[in-house]
């Protein structure tokens, strides 16, 4: 009897737990496994709240690297804005003293650090903080920022493709502190997306989870410094290789999408619609490709172009000599060189030489002879034949037959005029070159380096020539309203953009 009572008792207990499980288990939520973004559980994958379809939506990104990379990021921003019908909030263009690609959290911190208003106050007060650590006071005048609309034609993009663009010209707030929108954005209205940092962005997106009480910082900057930057073991050494597909892009319904790096076009897919294809084609030829909106910059470029014989009357030669050497004492061999348009750079290297100055005279000669051969292989055949043929009777022939080195400014100017005259009136395919090189030296002053080049192409001129002739002045930027800091050498910092304008009006292959 006792055994029967115990059995009934155990059966009742079992039935009780079965009953409870049917009530409780359906309401339990199983948390997904933690992702790499859950640093101290402060960042989680999420789907932003559904926004008002009639409310304006935005996207932005963090700039990094030199002008070409920043320009590519803006181009990709234009593609994404067209795809999603979002308004661009464009950060300003940073000129000189650039920093490379970094993971999202580091790019965010670097971007906030370049607030010159706050940086100047700290420097004047002698305060050392995270900002002056990233942007040293000693180099505060070695770089500057300028709105993209000051150098590029944005109005035609807006008009032709209906893309809305706002420029973030005051403040460095982003996300919930977006300066262009006055800040105070609801965190659930912001999506952080960067497939070059977060693996999850290939299928998802991230945000700050403000519901967790551990987040107490007053700004994204403080949050990043306190949380992300302490996780040294989590830092990336190279960007991830994931792609945000167009369907996932369109699923993001947040008011603001804050991208990290946008300079890798292949990582952010858009459709191949007719208008997208037209935009891409236009950006390769006529839209957002020439920095010609800065009046004084364009004026200076036009003066140099005119001296070279005018538009499409000369070619540009861009030599990155440090890359040519690239740790290879035998960089003069042809298999170590590659030509991409007018840019010559090494493909491989093997030893520990770091610059042209580290090479002996024979190696320098071999290197430049290889460069000359590469140039001949790259330029049109009729131009190569014209350069290789003897100079016909002319002012140019008379100058070259004297045997003089032609190095003083007056002789160099006579040579330029003779070259332009020869190209226009006698041999239209004969090359006149405007040389740009990373050593910033005039070819005629270093025959040990450029001897083989000048011997084959005597009509080679450079920035040094233009400055000696006072065609390029040391104060050409004066009078440009956007360039108003007396402590900044705008002429020096804008030289790369000046070179772009000059190169853009050279002979097209």
pLDDT-derived band at 509, boundaries 50, 70, 90: low
- Mean pLDDT over residues 280-298, rounded? 94
| pLDDT for residue 44 is more than 50 | no
What is the pLDDT at residue 363? 84
431 close to 459: Cβ distance less than 8 angstroms: yes
Q: Return contacts of 395-398, CB within 8 angstroms, 24+ apart.
A: 395/421, 395/422, 396/421, 396/422, 396/458, 396/459
Output the CA torsion sign for 341, 357, 331, 373: positive
| pLDDT for residue 17 is more than 70 | no
| pLDDT for residue 483 is more than 50 | yes
| Interaxial angle between packed helices 295-307 and 495-504, expressed in degrees from 0 to 180 and rounded to the nearest 10 | 50
- Mean pLDDT over residues 224-241, rounded? 58
What radius of gyration do the chain's Cα atoms show? 30
| Interaxial angle between packed helices 495-504 and 67-84, expressed in degrees from 0 to 180 and rounded to the nearest 10 | 70
Task: Tell me the C-alpha to C-alpha distance, in Å, between residue 208 and each of 48, 105, 237.
Answer: 11, 12, 23
What is the pLDDT at residue 495? 96
Other C-beta atoms closer than 10 Å to the C-beta of 301 total: 24
110: number of CA atoms within 13 Å, CB side?
A: 19
SS3 state of residue 433:
strand
Is the whole-model pTM more than 0.85?
A: no
507 closest CA partner among 268, 308, 348: 308
Please state, in angstroms and rounded to a whole number, the distance separating the CA atoms of residues 354 and 328: 8
Instruction: Round the average pLDDT of the chain to a whole number and report it.
Output: 82
What is the pLDDT at residue 323? 81
What is the pLDDT at residue 254? 93
pLDDT-derived band at 358, boundaries 50, 70, 90: confident
Please state, in angstroms and rounded to a whole number, the distance separating the CA atoms of residues 319 and 343: 6
403 close to 364: Cβ distance less than 8 angstroms: no
**Residue labelled with tokens 């090479």:** 359
What are the pLDDT digits (tens) for 68-120?
999 999 999 999 999 999 999 999 999 999 999 999 999 999 999 999 999 99
497 close to 298: Cβ distance less than 8 angstroms: no
| pLDDT for residue 355 is more than 90 | no
What are the pLDDT digits (tens) for 401-410?
987 788 899 9
What is the pLDDT at residue 241? 79
What is the pLDDT at residue 409? 94
What is the pLDDT at residue 201? 74
- Mean pLDDT over residues 215-244, rounded? 54
Ranges of H-type helices in 39-147: 67-84, 104-113, 116-124, 130-134
- Mean pLDDT over residues 358-383, rounded? 86
| pLDDT for residue 391 is more than 60 | yes
- Mean pLDDT over residues 157-185, rounded? 95
pLDDT-derived band at 352, boundaries 50, 70, 90: low
> Higher model confidence: residue 343 or residue 296?
296
pLDDT-derived band at 229, boundaries 50, 70, 90: very low
Please state, in angstroms and rounded to a whole number, the distance separating the CA atoms of residues 299 and 295: 6
| pLDDT for residue 51 is more than 90 | no
> Higher model confidence: residue 219 or residue 144?
144
192 close to 185: Cβ distance less than 8 angstroms: no
Q: Which residues contact 217 (CB under 8 A, 6 or more apart)?
A: 223, 226
> Higher model confidence: residue 339 or residue 74?
74
pLDDT-derived band at 430, boundaries 50, 70, 90: very high
DSSP 397: H
């Amino acid at each position: 009897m006792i055994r029967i009572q115990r059995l009934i008792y155990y059966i009742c207990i079992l039935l009780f737990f079965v009953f409870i499980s049917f009530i409780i288990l359906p309401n339990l939520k199983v948390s997904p496994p933690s992702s790499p973004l859950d640093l101290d559980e402060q960042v989680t994958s999420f789907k932003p709240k559904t926004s008002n379809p009639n409310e304006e939506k935005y996207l932005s990104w963090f700039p990094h690297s030199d002008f070409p990379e920043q320009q590519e990021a803006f181009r990709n921003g234009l593609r994404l804005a067209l795809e999603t019908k979002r308004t661009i909030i464009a950060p300003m263009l940073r000129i000189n003293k650039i920093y490379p690609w970094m993971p999202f959290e580091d790019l965010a911190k670097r971007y906030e650090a370049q607030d010159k208003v706050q940086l100047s106050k700290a420097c004047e007060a002698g305060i050392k903080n995270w900002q002056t650590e990233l942007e040293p006071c000693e180099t505060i005048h070695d770089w500057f920022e300028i709105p993209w609309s000051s150098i590029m034609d944005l109005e035609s993009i807006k008009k032709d493709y209906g893309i809305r663009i706002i420029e973030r010209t005051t403040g460095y707030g982003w996300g919930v502190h977006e300066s262009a929108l006055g800040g105070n954005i609801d965190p659930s209205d912001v999506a952080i997306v960067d497939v070059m940092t977060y693996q999850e962005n290939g299928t998802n997106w991230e945000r700050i989870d403000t519901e967790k009480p551990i987040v107490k910082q007053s700004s994204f900057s403080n949050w990043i410094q306190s949380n992300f930057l302490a996780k040294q073991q989590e830092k990336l050494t190279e960007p991830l290789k994931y792609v945000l597909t167009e369907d996932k892009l369109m699923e993001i319904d947040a008011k603001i999408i804050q991208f990290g790096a946008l300079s890798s076009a292949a990582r952010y897919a858009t459709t191949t619609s007719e208008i997208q294809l037209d935009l891409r084609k236009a950006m390769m030829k006529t839209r957002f490709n020439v920095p010609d909106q800065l009046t004084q910059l364009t004026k200076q470029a036009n003066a140099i172009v005119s001296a070279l014989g005018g538009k499409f009357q000369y070619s540009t030669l861009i030599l990155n000599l440090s890359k040519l050497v690239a740790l290879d004492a035998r960089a003069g061999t042809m298999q170590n060189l590659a030509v991409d348009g007018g840019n010559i750079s090494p493909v491989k290297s093997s030893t520990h030489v770091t610059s042209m100055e580290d090479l002996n005279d024979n190696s320098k000669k071999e290197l430049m002879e290889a460069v000359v051969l590469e140039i001949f292989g790259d330029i049109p055949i009729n131009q190569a034949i014209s350069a290789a043929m003897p100079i016909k009777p002319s002012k140019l022939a008379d100058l070259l037959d004297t045997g003089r080195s032609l190095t003083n400014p007056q002789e160099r100017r006579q040579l330029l005029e003779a070259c332009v005259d020869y190209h226009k009136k006698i041999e239209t395919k004969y090359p006149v070159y405007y040389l740009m090189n990373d050593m910033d030296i005039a070819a005629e002053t270093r025959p040990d380096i450029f001897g083989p080049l000048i011997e084959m192409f005597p009509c080679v001129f450079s920035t040094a020539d233009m400055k000696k002739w006072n065609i390029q002045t040391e104060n050409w930027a004066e009078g440009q309203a956007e360039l108003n800091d007396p402590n900044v050498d705008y002429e020096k910092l804008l030289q790369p953009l000046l070179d772009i304008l000059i190169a853009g009006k050279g002979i097209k292959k």
